[in-house]
Structure 1
Amino acid sequence: MPRIKDAKWMYTIFPKLVVAFLLLVTPLYGIGLIINKQGETSVRSEVSDSLQSRVKFYVNSLETEKAHMLGLLDQLAVDKNLSHLTFVGQFMKINEWSESVLALENKLQMIKASSIYIKSVEAHMLTQNRTISTEASITDNRLSDEYEAIAPNYSSPNRAFISWKDRLFLSLPFPTSAKKVPPSFAIQLELNLTTLRDALDHFTDYENSGAMFINLRQGWVVDNLGDEPQLPYVKDYLARQAADASEGTVSLRMDGKPFLVSYKYSEELDSYLVVYVPQEQLFGKIDNYKELLWLLSLLSIVIILIYSSWIYRMIHRPLNKLIRNFRKLEEGQWEHIRMPRSRDEFTDLMHHYNAMVDRLKVMFHEVVEQKTRAQASELKQLQSQINPHFLYNTYFILYRLAKAGQIDTLIRFCQYLGEYFQYITRSGADQVELESEIKHAQTYVEIQNIRFFNRIDVDFAPLPDSWRQVTVPRLIVQPVIENAYKHGLEKKRANCRIAIDFKQDGKRLFMTVEDNGESLRDEDLARLQRDLSDREHPPLELTGLLNIHRRLQIMFGDTAGIEVARGPMGGLQVKICMEAALANPHSNSNPHSNAMPHSNHDKEDEDVPAIDR
């Protein structure tokens, strides 16, 4: 995607090109999606209809099988051998009885062999208390255990399947009676559930599919898998839909996966045949086609983006080149545009741009020269504000020493005083070496020790050797120490201390001046921090710490200056930051500085709160 530095691409012509192409191809893809959707609907309908047809066919087949089984039972009920054995078996000769038993067994075997769904056939002769079975021939003076399955139903036979111990039976009592009177005999037919399950297992060829017979009234289920996790979902759905529809095909989410479920209720079987197939097995290819269509759509979008980008670059590359050079011009890079080989409207624009750059260079140098002169004038004015800063107290100290007759101290004080005024009033360069500035601050400390009778301890850490010859503005250390005397310790009578420390960090030097005064209030500290950081409303007059902060920024740039905070000793901590790489001993100003910090007015020897730090 084309990029323009510092410009949002959405506001360029590129998105318009993309939208135009999308508007062209979207209707075509919309038609394709509609055709795909209609095809998918048609396929889904055909698959559902096919599955429902198979369910109906199999249900009809099972109904036919059941009707065939019931017909065989009806024929067996009128068999003469069964009647003779039931009613006159005890009076028959042994050879006649044996022949009748063999003939009845053959008949039962023929019935069993007539259908793969018949597992066994039994004839219970209640009058003789015997059972003839295809599995165990004839019992001796007892009915078989399977008679228990049909015994409760002989009084009201409904010719429905009977579930007993996970087995299914069909029965026919003879004769039937409305009264609860046992019949003379009952014919019992057991279904082969293994064969039925095999048939259900071959009903669908899809993975994770299945089929089942469900009888909601009796609660029995015949399925091809056993303990199927889908069974509760299917039974719940059939229980809700039993009164509404006897057949249909629905989509159900079972065990977290979508299935296509086809079912049909058979009144003859009194049960539902249910077939379920995972939709991913049925419609997997359709989903693949859909994914391919979306992939094609995505590929088309990529092609549109690439083609739009190519057109964008072909048409707007010269414009982007102009914009980039304008950005560089804003950053102060005065570079000409390299002229292209082509000759068009953009070539003319680039010629005019190069001419404009040449004119701006001339104007810029004129403005920088004027600004440099103005900053030099400002620096001299700021320093002149500090020159008489210490003058007011000296005469009182001289008077006090002379009156007390302390001649040696008076001589030493005059020496220090001379050095002090010589340093601040000389008309040399406005910048000095940092080593000279520190010596001047130490001279000032000696003067203050005489004034305060050495009750204030001042600790000077050694100045790093690499910073001794670095040029700095004059009078940036002594006024900070003076501020500590005046506002931090002047009213404190004991345990007074000032610490001056230096810490070098690469090309930067941090000098801290900290006192243990007790008069610093949080609101005064907050106001001073706010004044030092405020660049929007510079004061008309700069004095004190703000004066130093301003001069450091003029010389070293905006990264230099003063930071104030409450120090570990409890008083004010002033941190002076300078950067040697930016120091320029041959210049009085730095064109990168444009901040104007606030300040308050310093007042000497007045018992006022520290509001002018």
Structure 2
Amino acid sequence: MRIRSVKQWRLTIFPKLIIAFLLVIAPIYGIGLEMNQLGESSVRDELSKSLKSRVDFYLNSLEVENERLMSLLQQYVVDKDLQHLAFISNTMTIAEWSETVLRIQDKLQSIKSSSMYVKSVSAHILTLKRTLSSEQSITDKIDDDYQAVESVYKRRGPGIFYWNDRLFLAVAYPGSDLPNMQETFVLSIELNLETMRQSLQSFSDYERSGAMLINVERNWMLNGDGNGEVAPELKGFLNGRFNRNAMEGIQQIQAGGNQYLTAYKHSPTFGYYLIAYVPPEQMLGAIDKYRTLLWILSFISLAIIIAYSYWLYRLIRRPLYRMISGFRKVEAGLMEPMPLPKSNDEFLYLFQRFNMMMEKLKVLIHEVYEQKIRAQSSELKQLQSQINPHFLYNTYFILYRLAKMSDFDSVIRFSQHLGEYFQYITRNAAEDVPLEAEIRHSRTYVEIQNIRFAKSRIDVDFGELPEACKEMRVPRLILQPFIENAYKYGLESKRKNGRIVVAMEQRDEFLLMSVEDNGEWLTDEDLQKLEADLSFNSNEMEYTGMLNVHRRLRIRFGGDCGVSVERGEMGGMKVTLKLPLDTVGDNNQQQ
């Protein structure tokens, strides 16, 4: 019951009014939402590009500074003072040795002063086992910092080294990597990580934002005083990017329970990633508020639309409901006028025209119904009368031939069967007869034909009529014409072994009666012509014989019934009559 009420509500005008208003308003709000979305997307893209540009600029600055420092190292590694101190210091006087050391310290100090990213510059002279530094005078042993860069001899040119969370640039004296070459001296620069950390703080324009330098291979990290809680997750994210050979990009990730927009880029020189991260809501806060306000406006508008639609629905529902009730009464067959509404509006006009339509329908239905009944009755009688003279002509010719042959016994029997035949046709005016009587009449016709043809020449086999079908009411003379056609067109020229089989079969809700012969004169062209004539339905066509029966069955029982033809298993024609089984109950009620 509840499902039915919901279905009826869907068919009312109320949801249609809501849908109509929504179809008008929806495009406007759709455009507004799309504009907001485009604005958000545009701002997001611009901010992402800005963040990426800052990452590129900062990393490129570090790369340029690194290349400059590398160039200085390569320039000073061939300095004459360093070579003299490393190779011929034992031949130098104390004054020359002191002056050389001071000049070297001044050069190291100038390298340090050239960049804010340089913390200290050292020259590790292995031939003397001493270290000169920009921070202190010459030591009496190799400084411990040499451990960070001692592997520089295994490579040609300058290199970058991570040691104890410190970062060094170093280069060895040219040729030190050759076989059997004695290690001479190494120039190294320690980068100022604190200065780099302070420069990373420029990315922290928003709350919970920041930037980091992360080397995933050496497990080294430099945090720019940002959100340290997200560092492990950012490191894991960059490790995955490095494994997939993703050197740069922009991506939104989940870290520390929050969403972050990240821009990252890999430094081929230093081997670390620079990654900057910003919470999206910090950048798009105002746009999110606009979107929220737009949604609130949408819901308020929807509520107004529903309220206004309901008011219109109530305004027109009562007269519409009365009119629908009137139409339902018409569907049920009660064509009664409806009371006119009190309001003087369009509904008054509709009610007046409805009442006028009901009056005209009553008259038209009465006239059309009577005309149809009279037309069908007249057509049935006309079709039925067409077949009676046709058989009458044939019987007189047969009786004439028998009398001429002086076969008086056959004349007697023939006259008796002929009397029964015409008694069946003329004893009452009923249009329908029991099927059992129709079959008995057909047997009488066969007896008449047996007098005409010897039994040995044509054998007729009648099947059993199902008990439930004996009282079926059918039009007269629907079976005998097909038996007559079998005699006349199929077997008349057959001298012996002629056979006609009349079968009855119940199938689903229909009774199928077939008449089949073993005639040899049926051609495919004749069969196709008969099928075409049966399928052609025209009121102007003259119906005789087979077409007569087909027409009467379709008028009486509808388009599903009628006559069909095909070539039978015995080689001759097989005609099948299709009758509905429910005619038993219907006709018993009519009686």
Alignment TM-score > 0.5, same fold: yes
**Cα distance in 1, alignment partners of residues 567 and 451 from structure 2:** 28
Q: Distance in 2 between matches of 1:570 and 1:201?
A: 103
Distance 2:565 2:499 in 1: 18
C-alpha separation between the residues in 2 aligned to 1:516 and 1:278? 97
Q: Is 1:86–1:127's contact at 8 Å kept on the other side of the alignment?
A: no
1:317-466 matches, cutoff 5 A: 318-319=319-320, 322=323, 333-336=333-336, 339=339, 343-345=343-345, 346-347=347-348, 349-350=350-351, 353-354=354-355, 356-398=357-399, 400-401=401-402, 406-454=407-455, 455-466=457-468
One-letter amino acid of the structure 1 residue matched with residue 420 of structure 2 = E
Q: Hey, what's the Cα distance between the residues in 2 that align with 1:226 and 1:395? A: 109
- Where do residues 222-241 of structure 1 align in structure 2 (5 Å cutoff)? 224-225=238-239, 228=242, 230-231=244-245
Question: What CA distance in whole angstroms lies between the structure 2 residues aligned with 1:62 and 1:467?
Answer: 105
| Residue in structure 1 matching 2:534, options 532, 535, 545 | 532
The match for 1:548 is 549
Residues in 2 aligned to 1:566 and 1:126: alpha-carbon distance in whole angstroms: 121
On the 8 A contact 2:152/2:170 being kept in 1, the answer is no
Q: CA deviation at 1:56?
A: 3.7
Preserved CA contact (<8 Å) 1:432 1:472: yes
Among all aligned residue pairs of Structure 1 and Structure 2, give the percentage whose two residues are the same amino acid. Answer: 37
Which one-letter code corresponds to 1:198 in the other structure? M
1:245-324 alignment, distance < 5 Å: 262=263, 275=275, 304=305, 308=309, 311=312, 314-315=315-316, 318-319=319-320, 322=323
Native 8 Å contact 1:18 1:308 kept in 2? no
Q: Which residues in structure 2 correspond to 1:53-92 (within 5 Å)?
A: 53-54=54-55, 56-57=57-58, 60=61, 86-87=87-88
Supply the distance in 1 between the matched residues of 2:225 and 2:462 (Cα, whole angstroms): 100
Describe the superposition over 1:415-443 as per-residue Cα deviations: whole angstroms up to 9, x where unpaired: 32332233234454232221111001111
Deviation at 1:453?
1.9
State yes or no: 1:486 paired with 2:488. yes
Q: Show the counterpart of 2:171.
A: 172
Task: Give the SS at the match of 1:483.
Answer: helix
- Give, as a single letter, the amino acid of the residue that structure 1 aligns with 2:383: L
Match of 1:508 in 2: 510
Report what 2:562 is aligned to.
Answer: 561
* Alpha-carbon shift at residue 378 of structure 1 (Å): 2.5
User: 1:510 deviation in Å?
Assistant: 2.5
Pair 1:497 & 2:520 matched? no
Query: Aligned-pair distance for 1:51?
Result: 4.6
**273-282 or 403-412: bigger deviation:** 273-282
Q: Is contact 1:413–1:450 with CA below 8 Å preserved after alignment? A: yes
The match for 1:469 among 468, 471, 493 is 471
Q: 1:183 to 1:344 in 2, by over 3 A?
A: same
CA 1:137–1:378 in 2, change beyond 3 Å: closer, same or farther?
closer
State the match for 1:198 in structure 2.
221
**Equivalent AA in structure 2 for residue 172 of structure 1:** V
- For 1:83-122, list aligned pairs within 5 A: 86-87=87-88
Name the counterpart of 1:601.
none
User: Which runs of no fewer than 5 residues in structure 1 stay unpaired?
Assistant: 1-8, 92-99, 101-106, 154-158, 213-222, 235-248, 253-258, 589-613
Give the corresponding residue for 1:571.
572
The offset of 1:22, in angstroms, is: 4.8
1:386 positional shift: 0.9
Query: For structure 2, which runs of at least 5 residues remain unmatched after alignment?
Result: 1-10, 93-100, 102-107, 130-140, 192-213, 253-259
| Greater displacement, 287-296 / 479-488 | 287-296
- SS of 2:335's partner is coil
CA positional deviation for 1:544: 1.0
Provide, for residues 344-388 of structure 1, a one-character-per-residue CA deviation record: whole Å limited to 9, x for no partner. 543564355345424532442244234323332322222211112
Q: Which amino acid aligns with 2:239?
A: L
Work out whether residues 435 and 470 of structure 2, in 8 Å CA contact, stay in contact via their aligned partners in 1.
yes
Question: How far apart are 1:169 and its partner, in Å?
Answer: 8.1
Whether the aligned pair in 2 keeps the contact of 1:501 and 1:513 (CA below 8 Å) is yes
Say whether residues 1:38 and 2:68 are aligned partners.
no
Q: CA deviation at 1:206?
A: 7.8
Partner SS for 2:393? helix
Q: State how far apart, in whole Å, the 2-side matches of 1:524 and 1:295 are.
A: 80
Q: 2:314, 2:502 → 1: CA distance?
A: 62
- Normalized per residue, the structure richer in helix is 2
Shift of 1:464: 1.8
CA distance in 2, matches of 1:458, 1:208: 102
CA deviations on 1:125-148 (whole Å, 9 max, x unpaired) are 5899xx97959979xxxx977523
How far apart are 1:548 and its partner, in Å? Answer: 1.3
1:288–1:547: structure 2 CA closer, same or farther, 3 Å change rule? farther
Counterpart position of 2:154: 148
Secondary structure in structure 2 of the residue aligned to 1:335: coil
Give me the whole-angstrom Cα distance separating, in 2, the residues matched to 1:549 and 1:433. 18
Give secondary structure in 1 for the equivalent of 2:239: coil
User: Within 5 Å, which residues of 2 pair with 1:12-23?
Assistant: 22-23=23-24
Which secondary structure does the structure 2 equivalent of 1:539 belong to?
A: coil
Measure, in 2, the Cα distance between the counterparts of 1:530 and 1:509. 24
1:460 shift after superposition: 1.6
Q: Deviations over 1:102-151 (max 9, x none)?
A: xxxxx9xxx9xxx9999xx99585899xx97959979xxxx97752312x
**Paired position in structure 2 for 1:597:** none
Cα distance change on mapping 1:376 and 1:396 into 2, 3 Å: closer
Q: CA deviation at 1:295?
A: 11
Q: Does structure 2 conserve the Cα–Cα contact (< 8 Å) formed by 1:198 and 1:224? A: no
Provide the secondary structure at the position in 2 that maps to 1:336.
coil
Name the SS for the 2:242 alignment partner.
coil
Q: Which structure 2 residues correspond to residues 574-593 of structure 1 after superposition, within 5 A?
A: 574-581=575-582, 583-584=586-587
Preserved CA contact (<8 Å) 1:512 1:574: yes
- Kept in 2: contact 1:339–1:347 (CA 8 A): no
SS of the residue corresponding to residue 389 of structure 1 reads: helix
Once the two structures are TM-superposed, the CA of residue 449 in structure 1 deviates from its matched residue by 2.9
SS in 2 for 1:228: helix
Cα distance in 1 between the residues matched to 2:280 and 2:548: 80
Secondary structure at the residue paired with 1:429?
A: coil
Mapped to 2, the partners of 1:207 and 1:495 lie a distance apart of 107
**Structure-1 residue corresponding to 2:136:** none
Q: 1:311-331 CA distances to partner (integer Å, 9 max, x unpaired)? A: 3574366458647866985x7
Structure 2 counterpart SS, 1:524? helix
Q: Aligned partners of 1:76 and 1:48: how far apart in 2? A: 41
Structural RMSD (CA): 5.9
SS of residue matched to 2:555: helix
Distance of 1:266 and 1:402 partners within structure 2: 128
CA contact (8 A) 1:14 1:309 kept: no
Closer/same/farther in 2, CA of residues 421 and 31 from structure 1, 3 Å limit: closer
